[in-house]
Chains A and B, each alone.
Chain A
């Protein structure tokens, strides 16, 4: 894996700061994603993981610093060039974001119909190939409302790879799935990445799944990268923040309690008022 990480990065986040409602989400964030790798971005809820994907996809602009994807600075691209770049990126939303008025087949065909003038017979072949990859060729006539959470996410994955993108971003792909569906998604992400020669960025807080498939892990906290390394390095580290996150300890550097007044003083104040 070391060889891939040393090559020119596909995604480079350099000194990015981003604020939402005056609250800093990122401060001087640096990270890179090597082509062909599976990179996991981890962190607690509210660490800005999804925001990071929006910055990479150009849906948000950083306040300082720059985000480069395939050599292009995303934030400053005109809309046309940004859309051209997005055709080469796939994204899997946590909610799957399937179009509810189209069936599974049409959902996967959607990007092809929008962006290509392929003949219907070829679209048919391509859609069935993509659905076969995720094991849902038999479900092509179903509507999103008829799918389980795991199936919906697999359809969304087939749609994300419909145009054979160079990179796929996964937003919390393991959340809310039963163990079997989770195992299927974990295997699919790794297999698709290797078979199709893609690059994958996974945003997640599921430690064990991330360690199973990621080549490299970034741990975000407090607006910047607090630790990075291969899964093995992350498991071995002695840093208390990383240990707390990787082992799932309820209290540690990240406190169990939200900042508040002293407990007894607070209770007396409530009664007194």
Chain B
């Protein structure tokens, strides 16, 4: 095979990948458009959403609590280590709170949620498709977009901001335990610095908006990948992997964009 044909094949391959990616994005958008009426319809059946909130939200709590506590404790240790050089250790509470509310809380929660609940959503919907459960519902005149997909979408969207708040709160408590218990910082200073330096409208709301966007995107990717999966074991496993990879990349990319907007005061 000559060098030219090899280069041509490479370009063709690249082109095919780009076309595939673009058409996937198009399909995902069409899927979202088809899902919107279902999202409204399922609101009348709150029980379905509550069930899924339990499956996706409550069952993710343990990993969120444990990770949040550790991240907070690590932040306290690392932050203290640097701040103490400038005799600024009294700002530790502020540093931890700002890092957690603005960045680490929303982003890490979203990444953990994508790995724990997003993958499970994709696998569940993909397997329901592979075992003809979705086709069975259609033949029973039940729209699987309303009955299966919409409640899971809502649950994911609602769960991520709530989990991010819990992650942040537990992280701050973890940092407090290390800072006051182990490093000997004054508890009053830890809290008062935080109180005066953290803005509810900017920092807390900014973090909440981020996690709501992440929740929307993860849920969208997870239910789309499941619904679009090839109905075979290999297809479902590929879809599950794609959910975690695409969600993680989307979270980090969107975080950069949103942070850029928020820091410029938009």
Contact = CB atoms under 8 A, between A and B. Distances in A.
Interface string B126-142: 00100111011111111
Nearest to A94: B132
Interface string A46-89: 00000000000101000000000000000000000001101101
A204 B138 CA distance: 22
Contacts of A110: 140, 142
A86 B131 contact: no
Contacts of A114: 140-142, 147
B141 A95 contact: no
A83 B133 contact: no
A91 B136 contact: yes
Nearest to B139: A91
Interface in B110-152: 128, 131-133, 135-143, 147
Interface in A226-272: none
A91 B141 CA distance: 11
A57 B141 contact: no
Contacts of B132: 93-95, 97
A99 B142 CA distance: 13
**Interface residue tally on B, bucketed by range:** 10 to 19
A89 B139 contact: yes
Nearest to B136: A97
A115 B141 CA distance: 9
Interface in A123-182: 159
Contacts of A91: 136, 139-140
Contact of B135 (A59, A100, A115): A59
Q: Which size class do A's interface residues fall under?
A: 20 to 34
Contact of B141 (A87, A93, A100, A159): A87
Interface string A90-111: 0101110111100000000011
Given A93-B132, A97-B131, A100-B133, A86 B147 contact: no
B131 A95 contact: yes
Contacts of B143: 83
Most buried by A among B131, B136, B137: B136
B160 to A, nearest CB: 23
Contacts of B128: 100
B136 to A, nearest CB: 3
Nearest to A115: B141
A111 B133 contact: no
Contacts of A111: 140-142
A59 B136 CA distance: 11
B140 A86 contact: yes
Nearest to A171: B132
Interface in B157-181: none
Contacts of A57: 139
A115 to B, nearest CB: 7
A40 B139 CA distance: 20
A188 B143 CA distance: 29
A95 B133 CA distance: 9
B141 A84 contact: yes
Contacts of B142: 110-111, 114-115
Contacts of A87: 140-141
B133 A98 contact: yes
Contacts of A115: 141-142
A83 B141 contact: yes
A100 B132 CA distance: 11
Interface in A21-36: none
B179 to A, nearest CB: 45
Nearest to A163: B140
B136 A93 contact: yes
Given A89-B139, A110-B140, A97 B133 contact: yes
A99 B133 contact: yes
Contacts of A94: 132
A119 to B, nearest CB: 17
A114 B137 CA distance: 10
A159 B241 CA distance: 34
Given A95-B132, A100-B133, A59 B141 contact: no
B134 to A, nearest CB: 9
30 contacts: A57-B139, A59-B135, A59-B138, A83-B141, A86-B138, A86-B139, A87-B141, A89-B139, A91-B136, A91-B139, A91-B140, A93-B132, A93-B135, A93-B139, A94-B132, A95-B131, A97-B132, A97-B133, A97-B136, A98-B136, A99-B136, A99-B137, A100-B133, A111-B140, A111-B141, A111-B142, A114-B140, A114-B141, A114-B147, A159-B140
Given A59-B135, A95-B131, A114-B147, 15 more contacts: A57-B139, A59-B138, A83-B141, A84-B141, A89-B139, A91-B136, A91-B140, A93-B135, A98-B136, A99-B133, A99-B137, A100-B133, A114-B142, A115-B141, A159-B140
Interface of A: 57, 59, 83-84, 86-87, 89, 91, 93-95, 97-100, 110-111, 114-115, 159
